A and B are shown apart, each in its own frame.
Chain A
Amino acid sequence: MLVAPEVLPTYLVNTLIRAFLYAAVAITVDILWGFTGILTFGQSAFFGFGAYAAALVFTHAGFGPGLALIAFGVAIVGAMLLALLVGWFAFHPGASPLYGSVITLVLPIVVSQLLYSGGSFTGSSSGLSGFESFDLSLEAWFRIAGVFLIATTAGVWLFLRSDGGRILEAIRDNEQRCEYLGIDVSRVKILLMMACGAIASCAGFLFACVQMVVAPEYAGFAFGTELLMWVALGGRGTLIGPLIGTLLLDTSTSYLSGSLPFLWKLLSGLAFVVVIVALPQGLLPALASAIRRAWRRGAPASVAPTAEVELHSADPQPLAGLASAGRLALSVKDVHKRFGSLQVLRGIGFAVRPNELLSLIGPNGAGKTTLMRCIADGAERSSGTVRLNDHDIRHSSPAACVALGAGRKFQNANVFDSLTVAQSMRVARTRLKRPSLWRRERALALPTAALEVMRATGLDRQLHVASRDLSHGMKQALELAMVLALEPSVLLLDEPTAGLTKAERTLIGRILLDLTQSHTLCVLLVEHDLDFVHEISTRIIVLHQGQIVLDGSVEEVVNSDLVREIYAGAATPGAHG
Chain B
Amino acid sequence: MTLVLDMLTTAAILYGVAAGLLIVFGVMKIINFAHGAFLTVGGYAALLVTHLGWNPWWSLPVAFAVGGACGAIVERLVMKPLYKRPLDAILATWGLAIVIGQCITLVFDRGVQFVQSPLTGAIDFLGISYSSYRLFVIPLSLAVVGLLGWMMNGSRLGLVTRAVIMNEDLARALGINTGMVRLATFSLGAGLAGLAGALITPLSSVDPNMGVPWLVNAFMIVMVSGVSLVSLGVACLVLGSAQVLVSTWANPILGGLTIVVLAAVILRVRPEGFARA
Contacts and interface: CB of A to CB of B under 8 A. Distances in A.
B216 interface: yes
Interface stretch (B6-14, B39-47, B96-104, B124-132): B96-104
B273 to A, nearest CB: 10
B90 interface: yes
B99 A270 contact: yes
A256 to B, nearest CB: 14
Nearest to B34: A273
Contact of B264 (A106, A232, A263): A106
B254 interface: yes
Nearest to A103: B264
* Contact count band on B: 35 or more
B106 interface: yes
Interface in A286-339: none
A225 B94 contact: yes
A39 B98 contact: no
Contact of A269 (B102, B220, B261, B271): B102
A278 B77 CA distance: 11
A99 B264 CA distance: 9
A175 to B, nearest CB: 14
Interface stretch (A88-96, A128-136, A376-384, A530-538): A88-96
A109 interface: yes
B123 interface: no
B267 A266 contact: no
B82 interface: yes
A269 B101 CA distance: 10
A232 B91 contact: yes
A89 B78 contact: no
Nearest to A229: B95
A273 B96 contact: yes
A94 B257 CA distance: 26
A39 B88 CA distance: 9
B95 A273 contact: yes
B92 interface: yes
Contact of B98 (A113, A117, A272): A272
Contacts of A113: 253-254, 256-257
B102 A266 contact: yes
Contacts of A228: 91
A262 B82 contact: no
A30 to B, nearest CB: 14
Nearest to B85: A280
B90 A39 contact: yes
A228 B94 CA distance: 11
Interface in A247-271: 262-263, 265-266, 268-270
B105 A262 contact: yes
Contacts of B220: 102, 106
Contacts of A39: 87, 90-91
Interface string B102-132: 1101100010000000000000000000000
A110 interface: yes
A102 B264 contact: yes
Contacts of A95: 271
B260 interface: yes
A277 B78 contact: yes
A266 B99 contact: yes
A98 B223 CA distance: 9
Contacts of A266: 98-99, 102-103, 106
B153 interface: no
Contact of A109 (B216, B254, B267): B216
Contacts of B110: 262
B53 interface: no
Contacts of A280: 85, 88
A432 B253 CA distance: 50
Contacts of A277: 78, 81-82, 92
B246 to A, nearest CB: 12
Contacts of B86: 98
A265 B98 contact: yes
A116 B251 CA distance: 12
B92 A276 contact: yes
Contacts of B81: 277-278
B268 interface: yes
Contacts of A263: 102, 106
Contacts of A229: 95
Q: Which of A95, A265, A277 has the most CB of B within 10 A?
A: A277
Contact of A262 (B91, B102, B261, B271): B102
Given A98-B86, A276-B82, 16 more contacts: A39-B90, A95-B271, A97-B87, A102-B219, A102-B264, A109-B257, A110-B261, A113-B257, A117-B251, A266-B102, A268-B98, A269-B98, A269-B99, A272-B91, A276-B88, A280-B85
The 4 closest A-B pairs by CB, nearest first: A269-B98, A266-B102, A273-B95, A272-B95
Interface of B: 31, 78, 81-82, 85-88, 90-92, 94-96, 98-99, 102-103, 105-106, 110, 216, 219-220, 223, 251, 253-254, 256-257, 260-261, 264, 267-268, 271
19 contacts: A94-B271, A101-B87, A106-B260, A110-B257, A113-B254, A113-B256, A225-B94, A262-B102, A262-B105, A265-B102, A266-B98, A266-B99, A269-B95, A269-B96, A269-B98, A270-B95, A273-B78, A273-B95, A277-B92
Interface of A: 39, 89, 92, 94-99, 101-103, 105-106, 109-110, 113-114, 116-117, 221, 225, 228-229, 232, 262-263, 265-266, 268-270, 272-273, 276-278, 280
